[in-house]
Structure 1
């Protein structure tokens, strides 16, 4: 017992020393730069642990700034390579004996402002950090998020692809010709979305779609989680398919049901030129005006 107590005390002391060393060896980091968007085709962001925030720029240039903590090396780099502007953040580890100790997240934020004219392509690959996009436009936006929340607000693009393995995914007040959302673990929410083609695939989490504009195609598939859909205006030409092992509610004006089973419901409004397909293995489905 004495050996166990002594070992525990020793580990606490070592941990305290390592923490003090880690704090003393960390200092503030700031970096900023601006670029002409005419020379940029694709803006690429790679992050290990920092948050990323996109907003509209007040100038006709793309401005990048990073603020956080650093040890020996700069944690964030900016590099323009031909038509690509690459922003990269890599987590820094302690060296020597203390290399195996990690005390909290070495946090920081990368701020990216782009002009109203928009950009061709924005690509974000994130390991562990939150992502926020607001008041921006681009031809194509692709976000691959491992761990952290994604918040998309007032964004427009021809194609939007947002993937999250572990974290919530929220899209509001935005428009896309094609919108694809993929989630492994976490809730998916959309509100006031204008899109011709929407596809949502979720493994574990609820899918909430509020005040959506009737489009050509809306497809939602989840293995575990409820699905809720509401329209900004009552649909006028819609074919509805809903399948679940739980409750299914279709409360739509003018819906003529062709199949009204317990686990499967189908019907049409008007000519049914637009399609809605919803399926959940273990979750309720509700669709309303």
Structure 2
């Protein structure tokens, strides 16, 4: 027992020394730069571990700033390539006993974008939280490995969001086409309008509140409940909802059931010109006005 305790204390001391040594060597990093939005068509962002925050700019410039810790080379770079602005954040290897490990988040990248000036936004994130606030663009593609995504006030023609591990939340946003793919983590949407929307989740709840009736809404979960509520009662909707292991509960004004069972229901409201398709392997399904 004494030997185990002594070993634990030794490891704690070594770990503490490693942390303190790294903190002592690390220094503050800060970088700011502005670009004329008229000269930028596409924004590409690659982040290893820092948080990334997009928000609306009141000027005609794209302003990028990065704040965090630095050890060695600059952890974040900004570079223009024709009409593309490329922002990269790379983790720096640490020397010593804990080389290669990253302890905690080291910084944040802030990107301010003028309304309706950027056509394409592409974000590839390995480990860090993402925020997009009041951004307008034609195309937005976000690939996230680990970290939460908070989307608020977006006005986008085509949006594609994927996440391996983390929560996705959408609020007060408008899309012509929206595709969401989630491996592990809950998905929340509130006051979202999309002509065509598809949400796929392997492990997590999909909760959609205040949805506006669109042409198609398809939601599929491998493991997780599905809940959909509309801001206004649908007027022309064809519904097909199936759960392999749980109940299906539909509460829509004017809904006429055409078939189904305890775990499956189909029917329509009005002429059924728009489509709602919901499927879950292991989760309850609820739909209401």
Give the Cα–Cα distance (whole angstroms) in 1 for the partners of residues 102 and 122 of structure 2.
30
Q: Answer yes or no: is the 8 Å Cα contact 1:125–1:144 preserved in 2.
A: yes
Give the Cα–Cα distance (whole angstroms) in 1 for the partners of residues 97 and 30 of structure 2.
25
- Which 4+ runs in 1 deviate beyond 3 A? 1-10
Match of residue 176 from structure 2: 177
1:105-254 → structure 2 map (5 Å cutoff): 105-244=104-243, 245-254=245-254
- For these two proteins, the number of residue pairs brought into alignment is 288
- Give CA-to-partner distance per residue, 1:173-216, whole Å, 9 cap, x none: 00000000110000001110111001000000000000111000
Give the Cα–Cα distance (whole angstroms) in 1 for the partners of residues 13 and 132 of structure 2.
43
Give the Cα–Cα distance (whole angstroms) in 2 for the partners of residues 247 and 4 of structure 1.
52
Q: TM-score, normalised by structure 2?
A: 0.96
Give the Cα–Cα distance (whole angstroms) in 2 for the partners of residues 103 and 155 of structure 1.
32
Unaligned runs of 5+ in 1: none
Match of residue 288 from structure 1: 288
Q: Answer yes or no: is the 8 Å Cα contact 1:91–1:106 preserved in 2.
A: no
- Report deviation, 1:99: 4.6
- Report deviation, 1:4: 4.8
Give the Cα–Cα distance (whole angstroms) in 2 for the partners of residues 185 and 282 of structure 1.
14
Q: Secondary structure at the match of 1:100?
A: coil
- Report deviation, 1:58: 1.5
Q: Answer yes or no: is the 8 Å Cα contact 1:188–1:208 preserved in 2.
A: yes
Match of residue 15 from structure 1: 15
Residues 234 and 100 of structure 1, relative CA distance in 2, 3 Å threshold: same
Q: Secondary structure at the match of 1:59?
A: coil
- Give CA-to-partner distance per residue, 1:94-153, whole Å, 9 cap, x none: 12x335374622421100001113311000000110000011100000000000000000
**Is 1:37 aligned to residue 58 of structure 2?**
no
Residues 101 and 239 of structure 1, relative CA distance in 2, 3 Å threshold: closer
Q: Answer yes or no: is the 8 Å Cα contact 1:55–1:114 preserved in 2.
A: yes
Give the Cα–Cα distance (whole angstroms) in 2 for the partners of residues 2 and 249 of structure 1.
60
Q: TM-score, normalised by structure 1?
A: 0.96
Match of residue 93 from structure 1: 93
Q: Answer yes or no: is the 8 Å Cα contact 2:38–2:117 preserved in 1.
A: no
RMSD: 1.4
